[in-house]
Structure 1
């Protein structure tokens, strides 16, 4: 994997944060295109590294990138451009659930993995599976690797408890989750290193026990039989 630095894209984003308007952007379009080209190369490196350890549906790095142009039609924030570069990779096949998402921004670079918006059916299935044997998920969340790299499980939660479940259930703290997300934030020194794609890919790889557990419970019934 060749060396590549995000220094120039970050410099562009820092300027964009203070000049988020079409006139400035058009005047600096060449600078943006140069920064975007570097980010595409970074995404390609990331795609290659991820594909060596997981099955990725997203065909290449470029396809993983989100557009920098914001859709402001239904937003109170009318600034026309995102002040970060970001994207995501989907895992392949019905057996592998979840996705890998990256956010490149000066001093705020991070990755997130997991499940943003499970369907009502999937969410009920996840809760029933966790309720039946919460220790499997607890062991993952309490492992030293998980705590060191991700801290704790993130995501929106119910304030009380889900309908149809006992509020005194020993797993109620886990059953309240509506989203199941893990996040890692990088120091700026890391995100500017020339081997950052490999560093990021290693953190994505550290998400695998969590993602594989979620994939397993989403693709089996309460008896452990396949439902796909």
Structure 2
């Protein structure tokens, strides 16, 4: 690893193109060192480069550049309960989660790198019911603040799809179906993502700036979620 992020190597994209065509253990065993060289170590450099920027944006969130146990997700898929037998994820990703969270279900900023799209932003993924209930009550009780975040021009321009996340078909318990925020109250996951227009941008040092800017725009949303689950921002 180096001390500065110069962009992901071009072989990063070739590696994932070949993995998609050869998602099996024999191929990966033959390319494991390549995976470390073109995916793991550059991702560690990227996370390290993001650390001071994240500190300035949201000091309670952690950018951990360790290759194992840090902010980077493992490439290995859990196939125990999946109909898809492919052993490896066909994308790279990292999450900068709140220091109080030990898993992906805590609030976090997120970066996803795949051949079919690069995106970054933040949110909270399938939080436990008591945590999700706190978020719903915060949206209900502070709807003016919630809508101010959603209606901010910079936020809307950055996250063109708005706040997303799978939701219930009905209103959650305790909320009327005609609630003005029912669309967001139904959500079981809440996130915002900015798509990268040109995937080749990840091979340049400026990719850090792109992610930094999106994280800044996501921060009011992230602050709302974090405060809603009674954690310091």
Same fold per superposition (TM over 0.5): yes
Partner of 1:85: 92
Partner of 1:120: 129
Q: Which moved more, 1:153-162 or 1:190-199?
A: 190-199
Aligned residues, how many?
Answer: 219
> TM-score, normalising length from structure 1?
0.85
Aligned partner of 1:74 among 70, 73, 81? 81
Residues 59 and 195 (structure 1 numbering): CA distance in 2 closer, same or farther, change over 3 Å? closer
- CA distance in 1: counterparts of 2:141 and 2:166, whole angstroms: 22
User: 2:139, 2:146 within 8 Å by CA — same for their partners in 1?
Assistant: yes
Deviation sequence 1:149-200 (CA, Å, 0-9, x none)? 1121101122221222222233323322222111111121332322212321
Matches for 1:117-156 after TM superposition, within 5 Å? 117-151=126-160, 152-156=162-166
- CA distance in 1: counterparts of 2:188 and 2:28, whole angstroms: 38
Aligned partner of 1:31 among 14, 30, 34? 34
> TM-score, normalising length from structure 2?
0.83
Partner of 1:186: 196
Partner of 1:108: 117
Unaligned runs of 5+ in 1: 221-225
Instruction: Determine which structure has more spread, i.e. the larger CA radius of gyration.
Output: 1
Partner of 2:56: 52
User: 1:160, 1:176 within 8 Å by CA — same for their partners in 2?
Assistant: yes
Unaligned runs of 5+ in 2: none
Aligned residue for 1:162, secondary structure, equals coil
Aligned partner of 1:15 among 15, 18, 24? 18
